Each structure stands twice: as structure tokens, then as C-alpha cells.
Amino acid sequence: MRMSVSILAVLISLHLLAFLLAVGAERRRSTAKVVPDEYDERTYCVYGTDASTAYGLAAFGLLLISQTILNAATKCLCFGKGLSGRASTTSAVFFFVFSWVTLLGAESCLLAGSARNAYHTKYRGFFGGDGITCATLRKGVFAAASALTLLSMVGSILYYWSHLKADTGGWEKHRNEGLGMTAADFTRQEQEQEQVGDFRKA
């Protein structure tokens, strides 16, 4: 199995786009302030933009597409041709697990951050009351998602490379060995027939 430059380019591009969206989501987190209602004595929260929610969900989708492409190309490690080479196989398994762990961490942060950022507090109390706050997403959730996205990209690339290194076609190797043995047997039979023919002529 040869390395596909197009698959690598797609994986890197999707991860980088997801990283930029996660960074943008962190910078565009929804902010809020408490303002009094003009019709009564209650107060309510006024929120800014919800761009972070859209950015986070877009990054979530891009990472999901990237992981789908990666596992389709490598047959999800469990299917397809056999792997050979102990060191290469160990590396492939390690980076397979690493890519999934970092992906799930990034996806969890993106999904939780998007959901929390979309939540808007309504009426909180009476005007002049103490402890009135508006629920907002805490700082750092999307930043953690962006860091995990980069780690997921590194893990995906190394997993793809180590899988290709280990994937020497185990079944093809055994088949080629079988073909080689068959050819050797056929050559041996021809030599024996020639020897028998020479003996009869003598």
C-alpha cells in the first residue's frame, strides 16, 4: 500500500481548518451583561454574538469527516490486509489509539462549548438585587479543543504513516511465497524430466 499525498493533504487541511475554527470560537465567545427591563423591575441578560456556536459545530464536523477518511483509507486498522513487522505494528496501534483519544477529547470540548455558548439566561431577578449573573461559556474550552485538534492531526498523520509502513500486505506476502514455492516445484519437475530423458537416451 503506497502513501497517498491527496489523503495526507485532505487530512491536514481538515484539521487545520478545524483548528482555525476552534481558535475563532474561543475569540468570539458569547458575552453578556445584565440590564433592567424597561417595563418592570426585573433584570435580564443581553448576549452578544453566537458565532462561537457555529464555529464549534463546524470544527466538530470537519474533524469527524477527517477521521472517517483516515479510517476508510486504513480499513480502521482491524480490517484489510495483515500487518507485518513488530515495531511498525506497535507504532500503528499506538498512534491509532492516540488519534482516537485526541479526537474524542477535541470533539467533546467543541460540542460542550457550542452547547454552553448557545445557552442564554433569561430573567435573573429584580433590579438592584445582589449576585445577578448571566451564564456564559468559561474561557479555555475552545482553546483546549484547538490544542487537541493539533494533537489529533499529528496522531492521524503518524498513524497513517506507521500503518503504511506496517502494511506490507501480509496476505499478499503469503500468496507470493506460495507462488514462489509452486514455481520452484515446477522447475524441479522439469529438471527431473530432463534427467530421465537423458538417461533413456543413454
- pLDDT tens digits, one per residue of 38-52: 776 777 777 777 788
Distance (Å, rounded) from C-alpha 61 to C-alpha 105?
14
Instruction: State the pTM of this model.
Output: 0.71
Mention every residue, 6+ apart, whose C-beta is less than 8 A from residue 142. 22, 23, 25, 26, 29, 52, 55, 56, 109, 110, 113
Instruction: State CA 175 to chain mean position distance.
Output: 33
Per-residue pLDDT, averaged over 105-110, amounts to 95
State residue 4 phi and psi, 5-degree precision. -100, 115
DSSP secondary structure, 102-164, as one string: HHHHHHHHHHHHHHHHH------EETT-SS-----PPTTHHHHHHHHHHHHHHHHHHHHHHHH
Which of 34-43, 74-83, 105-114, 122-131 shows the highest mean pLDDT? Answer: 105-114
Distance (Å, rounded) from C-alpha 154 to C-alpha 136?
32
- pLDDT tens digits, one per residue of 63-104: 999 999 998 888 876 655 556 667 778 888 899 999 999 999
- pLDDT tens digits, one per residue of 150-163: 999 999 999 998 88
Confidence of residue 36 (pLDDT cuts 50, 70, 90): confident
